[in-house]
Chains A and B, each alone.
Chain A
Amino acid sequence: MNILGISAHYHDSAAALVVDGVPVCAVQEERLSRHKNDASFPAAAIEWCLDHAALEPEALDAVVFYERSMLKFERILTCALRSFPRSWRSFPQAIKNSLGEKVWVRGIIASHLGVPRSKIFFTSHHAAHAAAAFFTAPSRHAAILTADGVGEWATLTVGHGERRANGRADITLLREIRYPHSLGMLYSTFTAYLGFAVNEDEYKVMGLAAYGRPTMVEQVRKLIRRTPDGAFALVPEYFEYHTTAARSYSATFVELFGPPRSSFDPIDLETSEGRRFADCAASVQRVLEDTLVDMAGALQRETGLRDLCLGGGVALNGVANARILAEAGFERVFVPPAPGDAGCALGAALYADRVYFGNADREVPDHPFWGPRVDAGELARAAREDSQPVEDLAEPELLEHVAGELASGRIVGWMDGASEFGPRALGHRSILAAPHSVEIRDRLNRDIKFREEFRPFAPVTTVEAAERYFELPPGGLRLARFMSGVFPVRPEWRSMLAAVTHVDGSARLQALDRDMAPRLYSLLEAYGRRTGIPVLLNTSFNIAGEPIVNRALEGYSTFRRCGIDMLVAGTAVVTKRASARPAPLEEEIACAQSAAASGAV
């Protein structure tokens, strides 16, 4: 069966194709449209998936959308009614947004792909999250916990998944917590309060939390109360996200925590105001962790299972994930590489395959590389046309060369094979650097990533070397496979791994298996032979505000306008020349300027 999964219309739309029970490709629309967090209908992603699998739309057996759009509309309408008359400003916009496109998704899919309506299916949002987490995890029987801002009504669900002896697999979601009570929205509210972009910058709150002390935990607990059945409820007077789109926190919230931060003010941790914001981040992070650990622990006791699959945007919180692994009683915790809404495209397709159509379970390859492949020839051609020095190197020579450059402090753009599905760069679209000094970290922040100083960089190392440098609990290597956990750097290595050690001594580690990314693994080995430490700094290959690069030309244009020293795509290696603008361009500029001076235009 050929099943296309689609997620769209909220944030980070994507398409994924499952053929005979196995994913063959998946890509986020933003990687193709080049608009970060592109939420539009993923026309380009669908087209690429079909092209990649050489399928015509008529060959699709099913197209599965990741949520029930009318149920979502019902929630939006109900919330507007419940907050009457305060919702008078947001009501017209919400209705226009929903009726303009979102509720007609069946028609949009049918007209775009030309498939009959009988082939269009829907899953619930959290069932798609659960499927993305469980059906991609190498576990026979696992508890499932999904948490995000909101789907249709659900914001958090618990259940379990099972691969049976008869070859069938199933997911059972037992119960849910409903909007407006949402851990994701609680965290997003603090994201907005701290002056960051909601649905985008939540990870900055996590990074900032390490600089603060959880001195406001009691205040945060006033916002969220635990219910007798072990769930939670948010206290509505502190929030406005359910009544207006303009602001997510209320005046009562501001009374409790003080004035919010303007997004234009830098966070200066030397000032009392900067420390207050950091303490605020640390406090909401602590409450989120405590709540998740408690709920996951209850789920473990209820199911008695050893494995947990986490899904939803909240599962991107690596600090919380590591605490769940350490404290909730599970032996293994699985987080897919794309736990957020983009991953729902894959989850919806897998859910339809296993549950709706009852097809036999198939093993899903345990890697994140489902996107378009990089073309080394494209990079070589563009660089040669720009008179940039290009080398085409054989594998061993290339690895030794790049390892040598990294060891001498160069920063390398690394593109290899198919791009990652999900928000993390896991070794195929990465910027790599030596992890040893804070100067490298500062240079990356200043000249390449153009981002806040408080945000940490992640390390990548081999699974064999990981425990030498990092304190991993049992099961930690699995959580580190897709960079889903934050773990302490061993104290004796912190000074040697200064660029990737956060202020609290932790790091969001990727522990790399040779089978998953063999070239990067070999590069780590080569780097280890030169320096004695097979660890590299690995950050996503993009500049702030832009999606991770996809094609070689996008990597090349990023390379040309920031401080990356060397770009590698497949076997092609481009080293930056000292001159920023090559001679022909200078001539062209002079020509245009002389035209301007003569008033030709």
Chain B
Amino acid sequence: MVTGQTFVALLPELVATGFLVVTLMVGVFAERNVGLVAALAALGTLGIFGAAAVLMATGFSGSYFGGAFVVDDFALYFKMIVAGSAFFAVLAAARWSERTGDAGEYLVLILAVVLGSTLVVSMRDLFGIFLAVELATIPSYAMVAFDRSRRESAEGGMKYLITGVIASSVLLYGIVLIYGVSGSAMLSDVAEAFGSGLSPVALVGLVLLASGFAFKVSAAPFHFWTPDAYQGAPTSAAAFLSVAPKAAFFAVLLRILLEGMPEAAPAWTSLMAVLAIITMFVGNLFALRQRNVRRMLAYSSVAHSGYILAAFAALQGDAVQTAVEAVLIYTAAYALMNMGAFLTIDLVGEESKSFNGLFRTRPALALAMGVFMASLVGIPPFSGFFGKAWIILAGAQSGSVLVYVVVGALVVNSVLSVPYYFGIIRNMFFEEPTREARLEPGGTGAVRFSVYALAVATTLFIFFVGPLSALARASGLL
């Protein structure tokens, strides 16, 4: 039954929808006034963030639409991450999209991805999940292909579209098979059906579902669209897509596995362990070979998906609580540092050579990028360290040999990633500036603000990791 409560529960989504429509309208009628359109979109993301924050602060929770839509702290937490990263994406995109002349459309696409991502983390119905995933994914194809001035953009968009559609159908197959076994798409019913043991059909369904999500979060061996898509995409799109929808997809996968098939945990934790190990190694080994910073960061995002999957492998024994916390903390830490690293490309350039001597020419920017790189490696006191520490913690608690192997792989991979992240630091601090690097700084004030704000947040993460972990502990999943 739809009551006033339901509208409150849907507040973030309603805000998103409202601003989406208004931004689209204003974008059409005030085509010249990019500032207004961008301000509206930015306000929209802040509104979504604020709505989720208010719901969380007031302790609002409940489930609606026959249990298919749930509001809990877990969902709200991810809505805040999505909205927060969308805010920076809008800032970074505003002036860029002015140049191409369709600011409105691009910003509306961002808001549409936000809407899909905020919906998906609240869904408890497999078909609802599928629809929300598609709502978050379809606009992102257009975002990747949006930069008409570069051929790579169209190419990346096309590759992303084709693989993405295949992934969606694989995901849907998996959902349908699970639905066939359990006779219901609700996660609670699925859990009951899976409780009495895993039939072969259900296992196939689980594997297909996991593969579908592996595509979406660019886990190896389903990652091959990632470098092309992120290299071609406008920087703001790469930054945003590598963070926000990914966080939401991880969140909903966590919900499906923990709420929908807790009894099948031995099966899917092993699956996740294998995926995690492959993904970490593939991401880092390919990243080592890249000279283009965008591609390097794309492979790095593959590697980081592997780290998060390592937390999924630890979802067993005493470690479930810690592993859930690890996913929550890692996604927040990753959102800060990865968006910052991508956005810096807009200010400097995408060839690793263009970073040469940045410390001499623009020391503050070099420091900010240094912070992002060190944080991506996982060096304290920056945010990435806490994400990794939590995953190792969950692994240590799990008591499973396979998970110990995964944690060992994570340690090895952290070291393996040092050369390419520190390659950038080396170029910035040790090399002489090239002639191009001495040219006028690129990028807009909004991008610079975003980069510095994200660098500060990555550094000061040490202060809010305490409250954040308390929040994660009380997040309500389980």
Q: Do A and B bind each other?
A: no
- Give B residues with C-beta under 8 Å from A: none
